[in-house]
């Protein structure tokens, strides 16, 4: 047990920073390179590192399998509804979201919520695939 103590102490500092970086990449998707998929990958990697250092029980207690599945389905339904709305809104002349100032974070209409939805889906899927592989129960 003592062999892991360096990993656990360093992990306590590094894992929150990794997650913060992932959230930064997702939110700045419309201003700089990155966006939903790459930010989601970083967030998923942070969950995988947490599983490897602290063992499965800690991750299960915070992010249970049921919460991850509900997160995936609700993000996907949200994505589909907003995409459908934006595809059909030209014909029916429905109101548009505000475009905001150029270069600030709350701008560019629908891109920010869609990026967040994609990021959540990708992070959850990466972690679920990893946990299935490592448990050998495909």
Partner 1 sequence: MDIILTNYFETGAVILFGVGFATLMLHRNLIKKIIGMNIMDTAIFLFFIAKGYIKGKDAPIIINSFKGVDSYINPIPSALMLTGIVVAVTTTAFALALTIKLYNHYQTVDLEVILRMRGENND
Partner 2 sequence: MINYIPIINILILILFSFVMMLIKKNNIVKFISLASNVFIFLLSILLVKKVLIEEVITLSIGNPSNLLGIEFYVGKSEALVGLVFTFVMVMILWYSKFNLEKEVEENRLSFFYILINILLASLLGVIYTNDLFNSYVFIEVSTLSACGIIILKDKKENIKATVKYLIMSTIGSGLVLMAIAYIYSITGHLNISNIHEIIINNYQFHRNAVLIILGLFTVGLGIKSAVFPLHSWLPDAHSSAPTPASAALSALVIKVYVFMLMKVLFRMFSYEIVNSFIIMDIILLLGSMGMIFGSIMAIMQKELKRMVAYSSVAQMGYIVFGIGLGTISGTAIAIYHIIGHAVTKSSLFLISGLFIKKTGSKKIEDLKGIGREMPFTLGLFTLGAFSMVGIPILPGFISKWYLSLTCIEVGRVPLILIILASSLLNLLYYFPIVINGYFGNENLEGKIYKSKKIPFVRLLPIFLLVLSMIVIGGMSYNLIGLFSI
- The residues binding partner 2 (CB under 8 A) are 69-70, 72-73, 76-77, 80-81, 83-84, 86-88, 90-92
> Within positions 42 to 101, which residues make up the interface with partner 1, using CB under 8 A?
none
d(CA 37, CA 138): 25
Tokens linked to 27: 């939110």
Kindly tell me which of 64 and 73 has the beta carbon lying closer to partner 2: 73
Task: Output helix, strand, coil percentages for the chain, rounded to the nearest 5.
Answer: 75, 0, 25
Contact call for residues 50 and 59 (beta carbons, < 8 A): yes
- Residue 138 binds partner 1 (CB under 8 A): yes
Contact call for residues 116 and 26 (beta carbons, < 8 A): yes
| Residue in 24, 85, 110, 133 binding partner 1, rule: CB under 8 A | 133
Q: Which of 47, 79, 52 is nearest to 64 (CA)?
A: 47
Tokens linked to 23: 């959230």
> Within positions 100 to 119, which residues make up the interface with partner 1, using CB under 8 A?
103
CB of 67 to partner 1, least distance (A): 21
Kindly tell me which of 15 and 128 has the beta carbon lying closer to partner 1: 128
d(CA 132, CA 64): 14
Size of the site for partner 1 (CB under 8 A): 9
132 binds, among partner 1, partner 2, none (CB under 5 to 8 A by kind): partner 1
CB of 80 to partner 2, least distance (A): 5
């Amino acid at each position: 047990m003592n062999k892991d103590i360096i990993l656990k102490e360093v992990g306590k500092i590094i894992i929150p920073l990794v997650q913060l970086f992932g959230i930064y990449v997702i939110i700045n998707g419309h201003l700089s390179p990155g966006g939903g998929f790459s930010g989601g990958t970083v967030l998923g990697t942070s969950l995988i590192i947490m599983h490897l250092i602290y063992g499965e029980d800690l991750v299960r207690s915070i992010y249970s399998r049921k919460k991850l599945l509900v997160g995936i389905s609700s993000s996907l339904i949200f994505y589909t509804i907003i995409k459908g709305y934006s595809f059909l809104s030209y014909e029916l002349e429905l109101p548009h979201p505000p475009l905001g100032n150029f270069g600030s974070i709350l701008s560019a209409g629908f891109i920010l919520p869609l990026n967040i939805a994609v990021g959540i889906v990708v992070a959850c899927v990466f972690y679920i695939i990893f946990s299935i592989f490592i448990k050998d129960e495909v």
